[in-house]
């Protein structure tokens, strides 16, 4: 495998600089984690993780300073050089509550170091000098079979965040989670996770191409009950999954991260305000999702025009439905609001003032739509 050849230009340059630098000090350094996985998935490589062997932490620190890498997690022996994370191989032992409560020790054995990874597909290694491929836990077979499998049950249970990582990986790649892994995951409590960390994992899922996979495993693993104190009924889950499956190809790129929450919250009849608060979503999610009408089934021209009084249809999260974009373009309300010839100046000239102007303007527009 000619690794530099498949990297984007900016990463190729950084990789070759790190590769040239490290070969003077060690014979063992490996590309690890998601970068190796994404190579075999033929996905765009945006960043890399490299583990360096046969050095102690003091030697490694001096070398990283010489290279010009910045320490971003020194207690975990992690340094950053551009878009490349460079670290020492380690094993982790749980010492407290939370997904960061781990005691870290150096490990100079490739198989043991890769065992700390969450799933087999993330535990593969690629020698950065000779491009020798190491796969101790069947990661390549998992990729070929589109399956997500844990490596070690006991160490897996120590990090509850891995439950959410499995869900977002499933949605991103369209992979099934194997039954043994599901069984272990279902028994893991998620109460030690911060709301911020929960949302970070979900955010990766929101823009995924296989949203029904993510929803299915949220239902199967009782995520709604565990995190949102809300029961997802099977018939509503099936309805939501079909809506996501049918509609995801019609999502507007600019709104893609918002559709999942919009569809799930509305069909499952969740209190959207409470749902968003429970996730501690960023303010732009709240702004995008509030005051968004939801319709079951077909949407009439009059209903579209009513929505367009407040926003162009290109900003409405229900615009994924079949035929909506074409209908809105025909009505000339896709990228502009509906005015029907009623102007603010007309309302003001009739004696309306302050907050009454907006109310009267809306009333006249509604009258024009439904006359």
pLDDT of residue 29: 97
pLDDT of residue 280: 87
pLDDT of residue 97: 58
Q: What tokens appear for 286 in the block?
A: 């709240």
pLDDT of residue 254: 94
CA atoms within 13 A on the CB side of 189: 4
Q: Bridge-partner residues for 41, per DSSP?
A: none
Helix (H) or strand (E) holding 30: strand 29-32
pLDDT of residue 342: 82
Residue 29 DSSP label = E
Q: Say how many C-beta atoms besides its own lie within 10 A of residue 241's C-beta.
A: 20
Q: What is the mean pLDDT of each run of 10 residues along the chain (371 residues)?
A: 81 95 97 95 93 95 95 81 95 62 82 94 96 96 98 92 96 96 95 91 92 94 87 84 90 94 90 86 92 90 94 96 94 92 86 89 89 74
pLDDT of residue 233: 78
Contact 299, 321 (CB under 8 A): yes
Spans of all domains in the chain: 1-145, 160-290, 301-370
The strands making up 48-52's β-sheet, listed across from edge to edge, are 70-73, 78-81, 84-87, 48-52, 29-32, 125-127, 133-134
Question: How far is Cα 312 from Cα 329, in angstroms, rounded to an integer?
Answer: 10
Question: How far is Cα 297 from Cα 303, in angstroms, rounded to an integer?
Answer: 12
CA atoms within 13 A on the CB side of 40: 22
Could you report the per-residue pLDDT of 235-262, keeping only the tens digit for each? 888 899 999 998 888 999 999 999 999 9
> Is the Cα torsion angle 344, 350, 354, 358 positive or negative in sign?
negative
Could you report the per-residue pLDDT of 268-317, keeping only the tens digit for each? 888 888 888 888 899 999 999 989 999 988 899 999 999 999 999 999 99
Question: How far is Cα 118 from Cα 15, in angstroms, rounded to an integer?
Answer: 25
Q: Say how many C-beta atoms besides its own lie within 10 A of residue 276's C-beta.
A: 19
1-145: CATH topology: Beta Polymerase; domain 2 (3.30.460)
Q: Which of 252, 266, 261 is nearest to 285 (CA)?
A: 261
pLDDT of residue 95: 64
Contacts of 341 (CB under 8 A, 6+ apart): 368
CB burial of residue 231 (10 Å; 0-12, 13-18, 19+): exposed
């Amino acid at each position: 495998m000619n690794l530099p050849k498949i990297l984007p230009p900016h990463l190729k340059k950084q990789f070759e600089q790190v590769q040239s630098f490290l070969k003077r000090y060690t014979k063992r350094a490996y590309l690890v984690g998601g970068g190796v996985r994404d190579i075999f998935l033929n996905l765009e490589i945006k960043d890399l993780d490299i583990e360096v062997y046969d050095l102690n932490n003091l030697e490694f620190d001096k070398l990283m300073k010489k290279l010009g890498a910045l320490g971003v997690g020194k207690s975990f022996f992690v340094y950053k050089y551009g878009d490349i994370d460079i670290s020492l191989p380690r094993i982790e032992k749980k010492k407290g509550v939370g997904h960061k409560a781990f005691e870290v020790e150096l490990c100079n054995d490739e198989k043991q170091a890769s065992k700390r990874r969450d799933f087999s597909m993330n535990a593969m290694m690629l020698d950065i000098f000779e491009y020798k491929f190491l796969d101790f836990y069947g990661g390549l077979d998992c990729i070929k079979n589109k399956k997500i499998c844990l490596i070690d049950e006991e160490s897996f249970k120590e990090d509850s965040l891995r439950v959410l990582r499995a869900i977002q990986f499933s949605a991103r790649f369209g992979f099934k989670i194997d039954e043994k892994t599901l069984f272990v995951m279902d028994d893991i409590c998620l109460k030690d996770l911060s709301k911020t960390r929960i949302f970070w994992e979900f955010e990766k899922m929101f823009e995924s191409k296989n949203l029904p996979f993510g929803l299915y495993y949220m239902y199967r693993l009782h995520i709604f009950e565990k995190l949102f104190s809300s029961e997802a009924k099977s018939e509503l889950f099936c309805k939501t999954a079909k809506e996501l499956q049918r509609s995801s190809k019609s999502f507007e790129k600019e709104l893609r991260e918002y559709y999942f929450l919009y569809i799930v919250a509305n069909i499952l009849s969740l209190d959207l305000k409470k749902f968003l608060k429970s996730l501690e979503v960023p303010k732009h999610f709240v702004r995008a999702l509030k005051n968004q009408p939801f319709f079951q089934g077909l949407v009439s021209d009059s209903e579209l025009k009513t929505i367009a009084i407040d926003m162009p249809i290109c900003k409405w999260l229900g615009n994924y439905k079949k035929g909506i974009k074409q209908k809105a373009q025909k009505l000339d309300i896709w990228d502009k609001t509906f005015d029907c010839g009623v102007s603010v100046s007309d309302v003001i000239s009739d004696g309306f003032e302050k907050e009454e102007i907006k109310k009267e303007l809306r009333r006249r527009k509604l009258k024009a739509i439904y006359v």
